[in-house]
């Protein structure tokens, strides 16, 4: 049976969330900062299911060292216990390569100590975006024109719902398929095919969020997203988000 705290937004009784845009110095490098706090004092641990994001993330948890999380291609879980929090920095997809001495794909599906890339980091409490921004701004490497171009391509995929196939995406970016795949491995950490699927599946969550509790024409939505039927949509969604879309909807 599911934890009842997962359902109908009950998790909001013990969690708080927020986000903020980056400082001007980090424009084009950082997409946003976010934070979460929770208080489970006297309650059992809670399994927090987290969907994948195309961004590399720098996190400052209150219960441990700062971490650097590469792009995870599937959902993953964090166990929340007691009272705590975390501040996170989500980098613009394509922009993090300038901080690394290796392709961004070297971090894919991995979480490593942030000190391995940035050196010693200060403690940053949830909500203190100014300290995190100042730390990164002081260590900002020179511009990376290629990475900036790839970031534009990622934005194109995010804002063009009709782009569903790599064979159509590559010409829209003005490069061949193999070059697109190579540049994505270097600067984003995942394949163009994965990115297109992730953005199209985001349309499912956007549809659910736009009208909570309203009936959804799943067959029609599957067709709009280019799936042959609802079953294929549900399978892809579950593989990426950890549960079918109807079960995901029950959280909210």
> What b/e string do you get for 213-244 counting C-beta neighbours within 10 Å, with b at 16 or more?
eeeeebeebbeebebeebeebbebbeebbbbe
Each domain of the chain, given as residue ranges in start order, spans 4-137, 145-249
What pLDDT shows up at residue 29?
97
Q: pTM for the full model?
A: 0.93
Residue 211 has pLDDT above 80, yes or no: no
Q: Is the dihedral angle over the CA atoms 209, 157, 191, 90 positive or is it negative?
A: negative
**Could you give the CA distance from residue 244 to residue 11 in angstroms, rounded to a whole number?**
19
DSSP string, 175-233: S-HHHHHHHHHHHTSS-HHHHHHHHHHHHHHHHHHHSTT----HHHHHHHTT-SSHHHH
The dotted CATH code for 145-249 is 1.10.10.60
φ/ψ bin of 65: left (φ > 0), alpha (ψ from -120 to 50), beta (otherwise): beta
Residue 245 banded pLDDT, cuts 50, 70, 90? confident
pLDDT at 209: 79
The average pLDDT across 181-202 equals: 96
C-alpha distance from residue 46 to each of 1, 35, 41, 109 (Å): 14, 17, 11, 22
Tens-place pLDDT, residues 218-232: 888 898 888 889 999
Q: Tell me the average pLDDT across 162-171.
A: 95
CA distance linking residue 132 with residue 103, whole number of Å? 24
What is the model's pLDDT at position 214? Answer: 80
15-57 confidence digits (pLDDT tens): 999 999 999 999 999 999 999 999 999 999 999 989 899 999 9
pLDDT in tens, 83-94: 999 999 999 999
Cα dihedral 54, 15, 235, 73 sign: positive
């Amino acid at each position: 049976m599911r934890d009842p705290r997962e359902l109908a937004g009950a998790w909001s009784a013990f969690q708080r969330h927020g986000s903020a845009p980056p400082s001007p110095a980090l424009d084009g490098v950082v997409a946003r900062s976010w934070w979460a706090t929770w208080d489970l004092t006297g309650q059992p641990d809670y399994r927090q299911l987290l969907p994948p994001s195309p961004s590399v993330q720098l996190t400052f948890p209150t219960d441990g060292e700062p971490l650097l999380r590469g792009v995870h291609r599937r959902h993953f879980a964090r166990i929340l216990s007691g009272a705590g929090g975390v501040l996170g920095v989500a980098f613009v997809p394509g922009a993090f390569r300038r901080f690394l001495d290796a392709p961004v794909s070297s971090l894919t599906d991995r979480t490593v100590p942030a000190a391995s890339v940035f050196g010693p980091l200060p403690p940053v409490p949830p909500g203190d975006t100014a300290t995190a921004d100042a730390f990164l701004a002081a260590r900002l490497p020179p511009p990376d024109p290629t990475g900036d171009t790839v970031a534009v391509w990622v934005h194109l995929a995010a804002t063009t719902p009709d782009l569903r196939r790599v064979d159509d995406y590559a010409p829209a970016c003005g490069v061949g398929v193999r070059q697109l795949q190579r540049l994505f491995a270097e600067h984003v950490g995942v394949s163009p095919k994965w990115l297109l699927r992730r953005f199209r599946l985001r349309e499912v969550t956007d549809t659910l969020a736009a009208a909570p509790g309203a009936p959804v024409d799943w067959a029609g939505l599957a067709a709009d997203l280019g799936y042959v039927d609802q079953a294929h949509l549900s399978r892809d969604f579950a593989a990426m988000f950890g549960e079918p879309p109807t079960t995901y909807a029950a959280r909210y």
